Structure 1
Amino acid sequence: MEPHIERLLQKEDLSIIISLPDNKEELAQAAIEAGADALKFHIYAHHHATGNKFKGPEHYEHLFKQVRQDFAGPIGVVIGDDIDQVRTVSTQVLKNYGFNYFSLYGKDVDSTILQQNDLAKTVAVDYQFNPHHVKAIESLGVDAVELSIVRKEDYGKSLDFLDIVTYQTYRDHTSLPLIVPSQKKLIPEDLITFREIGINAVMLGAVTIGNTADSIYETVLAFRKQKETIA
């Protein structure tokens, strides 16, 4: 299994990243057993899809290190949802806990986090970002762009043609790896479309996988089986 997110996203087949709805070992294990290619945890953040509020990394140290021991793939972390809070977190400590990459909205990324080399860098853009400007990100040392472009009032709806066209527009304007998070309620068949338009990974979160170990296992397994038919 590829341990580096930047290398994983360079592979020809589409990767499946699981954004865990809570920092619990049983949820991580369910995703791993079902065939996740990469995982993502949260700290210092409010998770809008579930209402969960996450504490600092020291509260989850044992969990993070245990999952790192059990899983050889990339493990990422949302470092927070406030730029001033993010600045106070040691990326070296996060690396020591077993993380390979960070995941942050652009509004929470400052020069300090861009300049560090402890963690690979994935940055999310939202619906206000102009896809024609995405090429400018290529010069900033970012390893991948997360297309978190769905408006909150559209969370949980089915993926539609206009969403696909927008993702395609991003693909047409950058060579960087692109990750589509499941702000819409994705289905396994969406992987075929994403592969056709050049998306590098899906990031499945609570909207699609639910928040129990059983729902995570069943959903991730279904996506994994679909992936294997198009690889």
Structure 2
Amino acid sequence: MNNFCKIFKEKKFVLISSLPENNPELAKAAVDSGTDVLKVHINVVHHASGTAFGSLAEEKTNLEKIISVAKNAGVPVGIVPGAKPGIGPCELNPLVGMGFDFFSIYAAHLSPTGLVLKEIGKMVALDSSYHPYEAKFLAKMGVD
């Protein structure tokens, strides 16, 4: 069981901080303030903050620093890998190698092949177009 999944077994309430930019100082502030989990982004425009996140290559230096800050504090780190349909192992495998504990993605953007990755946790979000009974099948499909 990875650190991302383990924290939900250990705590009744889990605080996930979604950083408004991939800034190591923001990550440190969140960790120092007691966040349980950090979440960063690439290849997406974050609607809540209005931030346009760059590619993995563009964001890599800051992401590595954020992972270091979090790991030193024992805080799992996840990543939103993008917002286009069909995201699968080609996009996700490099994230595993960097040390991310999980990815966070809308179901409509995830290729089913992304669910076969055992080395990384999977947080999959459903929007209002999904029926509640569909959520029950996510765990059976490998979503954490």
Asked if TM exceeds 0.5, the reply is yes
How much has 1:89 moved relative to structure 2?
4.5
Q: Give a deviation string over 1:5-30, Cα, whole Å, max 9, x none.
A: 11111124211010111111121111
Q: Equivalent residue for 2:92?
A: 91
* 2: CA distance, partners of 1:89 / 1:28: 27
SS in structure 2 of the partner of residue 83 of structure 1: coil
The one-letter code of the counterpart of 2:69 is: D
Q: Equivalent residue for 1:29?
A: 28
Determine if contact 1:91/1:118 at 8 Å carries over to the other structure: no
Q: Equivalent residue for 1:104?
A: 105
The reply to whether residue 133 of structure 1 matches residue 131 of structure 2 is: no
Q: Equivalent residue for 1:179?
A: none
1:1-231 pair list within 5 angstroms: 4-71=3-70, 72-84=74-86, 86-87=87-88, 89-143=90-144
What percent of counterpart residues are identical?
30
Determine if contact 1:43/1:78 at 8 Å carries over to the other structure: yes
Specify whether residues 36 and 12 from structure 1 end up closer, same or farther in structure 2 by C-alpha distance, changes over 3 A only: closer
SS in structure 1 of the partner of residue 46 of structure 2: coil
| Greater RCO, 1 or 2 (C-alpha within 8 Å, sep 6+) | 1
Q: How many residues align?
A: 140
* 2: CA distance, partners of 1:64 / 1:137: 28
How much has 1:134 moved relative to structure 2?
1.9
The one-letter code of the counterpart of 2:26 is: L
* 1: CA distance, partners of 2:44 / 2:90: 13
Q: Give a deviation string over 1:134-174, Cα, whole Å, max 9, x none.
A: 2122210100xxxxxxxxxxxxxxxxxxxxxxxxxxxxxxx
Determine if contact 1:79/1:89 at 8 Å carries over to the other structure: no
Structure 2 spans left out of the alignment, 5+ residues: none
* 2: CA distance, partners of 1:46 / 1:55: 9
How much has 1:103 moved relative to structure 2?
0.2
* 2: CA distance, partners of 1:89 / 1:63: 21
Determine if contact 2:15/2:35 at 8 Å carries over to the other structure: yes
How much has 1:88 moved relative to structure 2?
7.3
